[in-house]
Structure 1
Amino acid sequence: MQKSLGLLMLIFYATGMILGAGVYSVIGKAAGVAHEGLWLSFVLAAVAALLTALSYAELSTLFPKAGAEYVYMKEIFPQRKILSFLCGCLMIFAAICTASTVALSFAAYLQDFFKAPEALIAVAVLIFFTLVNIWGVRESGWMNIVFTLVELSGLLIFIYAGLKQPDFGKALSAPLSWGIVNGASLIFFAYLGFESMVNLAEEAKEPEKNIPRAILISLALTTVVYVTVGLAALAMMSPDDLEKSDAVLSDALMRHSPEAARALGGIALFATANTVMIALLAASRICLGMARGRDLPKMFSAILPKRQSPWLASLLVFALTLLFLPLKKIEIIASVSSFVTIVVFIIVNAAVVYLRRKDPARKRPFRVPGAIAGWPVLPLLAAGIALFFLFHFEEQVYYVGFGIVIFVLLVYQALHRRRA
């Protein structure tokens, strides 16, 4: 595939996916458990995300191909084909769940400006961004830059309103408590998205340099924004009021600037639209990688000669995403998406540790720093933190999540027997 993505576009892809709609939905619940330490929860969650991001940076520079997690497992564990199949399917599932749920969120936000059936709007959004992604990754990259700047402006408006409050910064002296850790476990999901960017490694210029840089820069930028958003929210509303609100940022702004609150509702359209576009893009690249590895039909590896985009894989992702629209249970589907993503995070971190022990002399363009007696400490810590986060979902999410894992394993066994 054509290498057309420079460092700037990679940063915007990662930043746009991270900023997305996550912070709008988790900040209230996190404030309810972290209280005045909400801003520290953002810092802890950023550190947790960074640890796994470093593992992704190491593997993406070793194997800069479309397919990311699927390719990593296939290269590191060639005799454990079931592992690469599982990771690939889980990440496709996570991406299409994200696309479908956020498309429905976009349709809900649009009702304030234009009345139309939400399902119809969601389908139209999915069709539009599927066509944009087929048109070309560079074209979708420029659109992503515009959308990311717009959604960033919404958060900056919120921060500006908070800065004008006399209590801004008061939370910096908040006492430490275990609630801060619990808040971080909720806020961690607002940082998900950096893993989607590594699927573009094959289309990146100098991926061995630009992929790690893009991951680290995007996480640094979003952490600064998120921490300041947390301080602004605490300056405008009490933690109890934040917890009770279903639309924290809009409700907080409404008390101080109704015009800004209404503008934030419009900006949310860009945030959700951008998330849909990048999720569809990432899923299509995983499908492309799995088709090349013969775990999906070979036809889905077809590339448009002129546009250099996997058009059949993009259409497959669109069709799969449509299947989840009728469910309409946004919170549950989104939580299941986060659940399977964290399962893959544990596997990815474990793979870094395994490869370091198996092949320590291998040349690595980027290496996660810190090792004791040949054991990489940070990936081990990242795997432990991800495992900790797995215990912060509602009961129903575990049933659905484990059901999906079992279903994928059964599908693999059926396909394996058929080929045998």
Structure 2
Amino acid sequence: MRKSLGLLMLTFYSTGMILGAGVYSLIGKAAGVAQQGLWFSVVLAAVAALLTALSYAELSTLFPKAGAEYVYLREILPQHKVLSFLCGCLMVFAAISSASTVALSFSAYMGVFWGVPKIICAIGVLAVFTLINIWGVRLSGWLNIAFTLVEISGLLVFIYYGTHQPDFGEALKAPLSWGVASGASLIFFAYLGFESIVNLAEETKNPEKIIPQAILGSLALTTVLYVLVSLSALALMDVSALSFSDAVFSEALRPYSVKAAGTLGGVALFATANTVMISLLAASRIALGMARERDLPRVFSMILPRRQSPWLSSVFIFFVSLVFLLLEKIEVLASVSSFVTIVVFVIVNSAVIYFRRKEPQRKRAFYIPWSWYGYPVLPVMALAASLFLLGNFDRQVYLVGSGIIMFVLLSYRLLQLRAF
């Protein structure tokens, strides 16, 4: 595929996917458990995200191919192909469910301005961004930059009003409670998205250098924004009010500026649209990588000659996304998406540890520092953090998530009976 992505565009891809719509829905719930320590929960979540991001950075420089997690496990553990298949399918599921659920959120916001049926609007936004992604990653990249700038501008408006409150920053002096750990578990999901850009390795110029820089740069930028947003939220609203609010940004600003509150509602349109576009893009690249190895039908590896994009895998992802639109309890589906992503994080971090022990002398363009008796310290910490996060879901999520994993494993056995 055409290598058209540089550092700027890739950093914006990662930043746009991280910002998404997560912070809008999670900041209030996290405040309910972390109280005045909300800002520290943000820092803890950033550290947890950084640890796993380092593992992705190292593996992406070793195997800069579309398919990401699927490719990593296939290369590192070729004798256990079921693990690569599991990771690939779970990440496709996570991306598709994100695209579908956020498309419905986009439709809800759009309904305020345009009275189109919700399902029709969701189908339309999925179709439009599928066509844009087929047209080429550079076009979607420029759109992502525009959408991300709008998202950042909205957060800066919120921060502006927060910093002008007399008690802005007072939370930094407040004593911390154990609730900051639970708050960090919630905020962590607002950082999900950095793992998506490794699927664009084949379309990136000098990926061995640029991908780690883009991942770490986007995490640094979003952490600064999230800390300032959390301090602003605590300055603009009482903690108890924050915990019961479903629209923190708009409700917090309404007493100070009705116009600014309305603007934040409009920004949500761009945040949700951006998440849909990048999720569809990432899912199509994972499907491409799996089709190349015939774990999906080979036909999905077809590249459109003129646009140099995986058009058939993009169309396949679009139609599967339509099925997800019909599912009920979409909020449970979103939680299951987060659950399976963390499961993949556990596998990826374990793979980094194993591969360091297996091939310690192999040259790595990006090398995670610090080892102890041959074990990389930071990936071990990332593994521990991921396992901890797996313990913070509802029972229903575990049941559905386990069912999906079992379905994937059964599908793998059935697919081995036929050749594509």
Fold shared per TM-score above 0.5: yes
> Which residue identity does 1:249 align to in structure 2?
F
- Could you tell me which residue of structure 2 aligns to residue 233 of structure 1? 233
Q: Could you tell me how far apart the structure 2 residues matched to 1:206 and 1:347 are?
A: 26
Q: SS at the partner of 2:250? A: helix
- Alignment correspondent of 2:289: 289
Verify the 8 A CA contact 1:95 1:279 in the aligned structure 2: yes
- Is the contact between residue 159 and residue 228 of structure 2 (CA under 8 Å) also seen in structure 1? yes
Contact 1:39 1:230 in 2 (8 A): yes
TM-score by length of 1: 0.99
Give the residue type in structure 1 aligned to 2:118: E
* CA drift at 1:419: 5.1
Unmatched runs of 5 consecutive residues or more in structure 1: none
Partners of 2:254 and 2:308 lie apart in 1 by 46
- Counterpart position of 1:133: 133
**Aligned-pair distance for 1:417?**
3.4
1:256 CA displacement: 1.4
> Quick one: which amino acid aligns to residue 349 of structure 1?
N
Contact 1:101 1:328 in 2 (8 A): no
Q: Please provide the CA RMSD for this pair.
A: 0.9
Question: Does 2:392 correspond to 1:383?
Answer: no
Paired residue type of 1:145 = I
- 1:35-74 matches, cutoff 5 A: 35-74=35-74
Shift of 1:332: 0.8
Residues 36 and 176, structure 2, Cα contact 8 Å, conserved in 1: no
Q: Distance in 2 between matches of 1:336 and 1:266?
A: 28
- Identity of paired residues, percent? 70
- Is the CA contact (8 Å cut-off) linking 1:41 and 1:183 kept in structure 2? yes
Aligned partner of 1:271 in structure 2 is 271
| Correspondences of 1:50-199 after superposition (within 5 Å) | 50-199=50-199
| Alignment match, 1:10 | 10
Name 1:322's counterpart in structure 2: 322
Alignment check: 8 A CA contact 1:104 1:328 kept: no
Partner AA of 2:267 in structure 1: I
Which letter maps to 2:258? P
8 Å CA contact 2:350, 2:383 repeated in 1: yes
How far apart are the structure 2 equivalents of 1:354 and 1:178? 33
Residue 328 of structure 1 deviates from its aligned partner by 4.3
Aligned to 1:28: 28
Q: Deviations over 1:60-108 (max 9, x none)?
A: 0000000000000000000101000000000000000000000000000
- Output the CA distance in 2 between the equivalents of 1:263 and 1:330: 26
Q: Which residue of 1 aligns with 2:310?
A: 310
What SS does the corresponding residue of 2:166 show, helix, strand or coil? coil
Select between 387-396 and 30-39 the one with higher mean Cα deviation.
387-396
Query: Taking structure 2 as the reference length, what is the TM-score of the superposition?
Result: 0.99
Q: Partner letter of residue 12 of structure 1? A: F
Rounded to whole Å, the distance in 1 between the matches of 2:279 and 2:325 is 15
Separation (CA, whole Å) in 2 of partners of 1:142 and 1:49: 26
Contact kept, 8 Å, 1:7 with 1:210, in 2: the verdict is yes
Deviations along 1:378-405, one digit per CA (max 9) or x if unpaired, are 1011011011011111111111100000
Runs of 4+ aligned structure 1 residues displaced above 2 Å come to 417-420
Which one is further off, 385-394 or 96-105?
A: 385-394
Q: Between Structure 1 and Structure 2, how many residues are aligned?
A: 420
